[in-house]
Structure 1
Amino acid sequence: MRIARWTVTDLIHDGFVIDDRVVEFPDGLTVADVLARGLSATGELYERVRDAAATPLADIRLLAPLVPAAVRDFVAFEEHVEGVSAGVEGKSDVAPEWYEAPTFYFTNPHTILGPDEPVSPPVTERLDFELELAAVIGAAPGVGQANLTAGDAASVIFGYTIMNDWSARDLQGREMKVRLGPAKGKDFGMSLGPWIVTADELAPYLDADGFLAVRAEVYVNDELVGEDLVSNMGWPFPELVAYASRNSCVVPGDVLGSGTVGNGGCLGELWGRNGSLTPPPLQTGDIVRMVVEGVGELVGAVGAHVAAPQLPRARTRTRARRR
């Protein structure tokens, strides 16, 4: 099943994508409602409406397939870390700590972009994309509870969507020198779509070790820049979900990105490997197209850069302890 949100004459609709048409959920249900009901209940909904009145896919505009409750983005591809570290640190290096656990950061759920929706980046000289596959959490036994096992975590994955984590690498690099971030280097836009493909649809791609062996590609202005198998992750998706739930919880509507795939999943990796800004950073008007086997394709254009109001530098203070 494919789950989507779309607009027709400025009204938002939620439902299924069936072949080349869209069918609304019954009873006014939204994607958030469906995720809260879980995968098995969604199958029952599908059977109710699969032959209902439909609208051609060509007549609607797809939106991001959900409004995320939270967005976690992992860094699960060793090859990506090797390349990016070469550009940032001058040498290819994977910290020993990377191998110990699937590290992630929280990013902004309020600047989510949909298919064909242009990104408005900050003023940056190193605009980049990141090709990722993301898991979407739905209702299942254990969801909302802390410390899921990997086995339990597998059942809470409702489906998958493509993620493009737009990145301003120069802003990101400055921030992370302060031992925090990424923040303003990342939080201006993240594209999701074109829809959520339910987990059962991708089950045939699982390899013997439980990794999703789907092919992922990214093109800039129709030129292939990167390609990888998602199964090159250091951890399979259920282990990412289990780690996210450690002493915490995941809930329906949470989005968990795989992190950037290797072998050109972002320009930053290639800059590190090539020792130069080759290929060049993204420019206004560039078109980034991501294709993931079994899911679909997500297209986004680079819009005009938007300058933000300036803030002053930190002030020198006396460090007095009394007024």
Structure 2
Amino acid sequence: MRIGRWNGPDGIGEGIILDDRVIAFPDGVTVADVLARGLDEALRLGRAVEAEQGVPRDAVELLAPLVPASIRDFVAFEEHVEGISASVDGASEVVPEWYQLPTFYFTNPHSVRASGEVVDVPETARLDFELELAVVIGAVPGSDGANLDVEAAASHIFGYTVMNDWSARDLQAREMKVRLGPAKGKDFATTLGPWIVTADEFADRLDGDGFLPLHAEVSINGERVGEDRISNMGWPFPELVAYAARNSVVRPGDVLGSGTVGNGGCLGELWGRSGELSPPPLEPGDEVRMVIEGVGEIVNTVGQRVPAPPIPAARKRPRNR
């Protein structure tokens, strides 16, 4: 089942998305509501309304499929780490610590964009995309989402959506030299969409180790620049969710990104491997299209450069005590 949000003739609607129409959940129920009730209840609600007339798909504009409670982004593809480390840090390597446990950072849930939106350019000369698959967390009866083992973590996976972790590589490289980040280099935009495909759709697609062998690809202005399989992740999603909840908690509406796929899942990886900015950084007017098998497609156009107010450099202070 595909669940999402849209702007239509009657304002914002939230419900199920079929090939030819969209149908709102009954009684004003929202995507946030069904995430808080869990997957079984969402499927029950969807089945209860799927025969209704709804609104034609071509009469609505899809919005981001949820308003995330939080966004954690992992770095789960070894091939991506090899390439991007050369681009950002100047040396192509996968440090031993990467293999020990998953690693993630938090990004901005308030700058989420929908497929079809124009994404303006921050003050960067190296605008990049990152092709990812993300899971959306839903409630599980009797679980508070805290300190989950892998089996319990799997049950909290409500569904999947395509994610573009837009990146300003020059900003990212500067802040990571301070042993912090990425943060501002990712702060300006994350695309999620076009909908959430519920986890039951993929139950028979998991391989023997729990990975999803889905094909993923990205193109710029109609030319493919990268493709990979989601099953090339170092950890399957239940293990990422369990790590996120380790001595912590995951809540309905949390989004967890896989990290960027390998083999050209972002420009930065290609720059690191070639030693030059080829293909070139994204520019205004470029169209970025991402497709993940069985999940969907997101497309965004790069907008104009947006100047930002200046911030002064740090002052040298006397360290008086």
Per-residue CA deviation, residues 66-88 of structure 1 (Å, 9 max, x unaligned), is: 00000000000000000011223
Provide the residue aligned with 1:175 in structure 2: 175
Provide the residue aligned with 2:119 in structure 1: 119
Q: For residues 71 and 79 of structure 1, what CA distance do their matches in structure 2 show? A: 23
Q: For residues 101 and 248 of structure 2, what CA distance do their matches in structure 1 show? A: 16
**AA matched with 1:258:** S
Q: Which range moved further: 157-166 or 174-183?
A: 174-183
Change (3 A) 1:36 1:302: same
Any conservation in 1 of the 2:89–2:173 contact (CA below 8 Å)?
no
**AA matched with 1:132:** E
Answering whether residue 44 of structure 2 is matched by residue 47 of structure 1, we say: no
Provide the residue aligned with 2:202 in structure 1: 202
Any conservation in 1 of the 2:150–2:238 contact (CA below 8 Å)?
yes
Q: For residues 9 and 267 of structure 2, what CA distance do their matches in structure 1 show? A: 37
Per-residue CA deviation, residues 66-123 of structure 1 (Å, 9 max, x unaligned), is: 0000000000000000001122333320010000111000000000001101112211
Any conservation in 2 of the 1:121–1:189 contact (CA below 8 Å)?
no
Partner SS, residue 271 of structure 1? helix
**AA matched with 1:94:** V
Partner SS, residue 110 of structure 1? helix
Once the two structures are TM-superposed, the CA of residue 142 in structure 1 deviates from its matched residue by 5.8
Answering whether residue 160 of structure 2 is matched by residue 160 of structure 1, we say: yes
Change (3 A) 1:143 1:304: farther
Provide the residue aligned with 1:266 in structure 2: 266
Provide the residue aligned with 2:246 in structure 1: 246
Partner SS, residue 185 of structure 2? coil
Partner SS, residue 135 of structure 2? strand
Any conservation in 1 of the 2:88–2:172 contact (CA below 8 Å)?
no
Any conservation in 2 of the 1:160–1:197 contact (CA below 8 Å)?
yes
Per-residue CA deviation, residues 167-192 of structure 1 (Å, 9 max, x unaligned), is: 00000100111111111110100000
Per-residue CA deviation, residues 207-243 of structure 1 (Å, 9 max, x unaligned), is: 1110011000001001001000000000000000000
Partner SS, residue 119 of structure 1? strand
Any conservation in 2 of the 1:165–1:186 contact (CA below 8 Å)?
yes
Partner SS, residue 201 of structure 2? helix
Q: Which range moved further: 260-269 or 90-99?
A: 90-99
Partner SS, residue 85 of structure 2? helix
Q: Which consecutive unaligned segments of at least 5 residues does structure 1 have? A: none
Q: For residues 20 and 219 of structure 2, what CA distance do their matches in structure 1 show? A: 24
Q: For residues 313 and 39 of structure 1, what CA distance do their matches in structure 2 show? A: 49
Provide the residue aligned with 2:308 in structure 1: 308
Partner SS, residue 27 of structure 2? helix
Provide the residue aligned with 1:27 in structure 2: 27
Answering whether residue 228 of structure 2 is matched by residue 228 of structure 1, we say: yes
Q: TM-score, normalised by structure 1?
A: 0.97
Answering whether residue 246 of structure 2 is matched by residue 256 of structure 1, we say: no
Any conservation in 2 of the 1:142–1:148 contact (CA below 8 Å)?
no
Partner SS, residue 310 of structure 1? coil
Once the two structures are TM-superposed, the CA of residue 143 in structure 1 deviates from its matched residue by 4.3
Q: For residues 50 and 101 of structure 1, what CA distance do their matches in structure 2 show? A: 42
Provide the residue aligned with 1:193 in structure 2: 193
Partner SS, residue 204 of structure 1? coil
Answering whether residue 184 of structure 2 is matched by residue 184 of structure 1, we say: yes
Provide the residue aligned with 2:295 in structure 1: 295
**AA matched with 2:136:** V
Per-residue CA deviation, residues 142-168 of structure 1 (Å, 9 max, x unaligned), is: 643321011110000000000000000
Q: For residues 185 and 69 of structure 1, what CA distance do their matches in structure 2 show? A: 21
Once the two structures are TM-superposed, the CA of residue 141 in structure 1 deviates from its matched residue by 4.0
Per-residue CA deviation, residues 266-318 of structure 1 (Å, 9 max, x unaligned), is: 00000001110000000000000000000110001101111110011101111
Partner SS, residue 304 of structure 1? strand
Answering whether residue 76 of structure 2 is matched by residue 76 of structure 1, we say: yes
Answering whether residue 6 of structure 2 is matched by residue 2 of structure 1, we say: no
Answering whether residue 78 of structure 2 is matched by residue 89 of structure 1, we say: no
Any conservation in 2 of the 1:143–1:251 contact (CA below 8 Å)?
no
Return structure 1 stretches of 4+ with deviation > 6 angstroms.
none
Q: TM-score, normalised by structure 2?
A: 0.98
Q: CA RMSD in A?
A: 1.0
Change (3 A) 1:10 1:267: farther
Once the two structures are TM-superposed, the CA of residue 46 in structure 1 deviates from its matched residue by 1.4
Any conservation in 2 of the 1:115–1:193 contact (CA below 8 Å)?
yes
**AA matched with 1:201:** E
Change (3 A) 1:142 1:315: farther
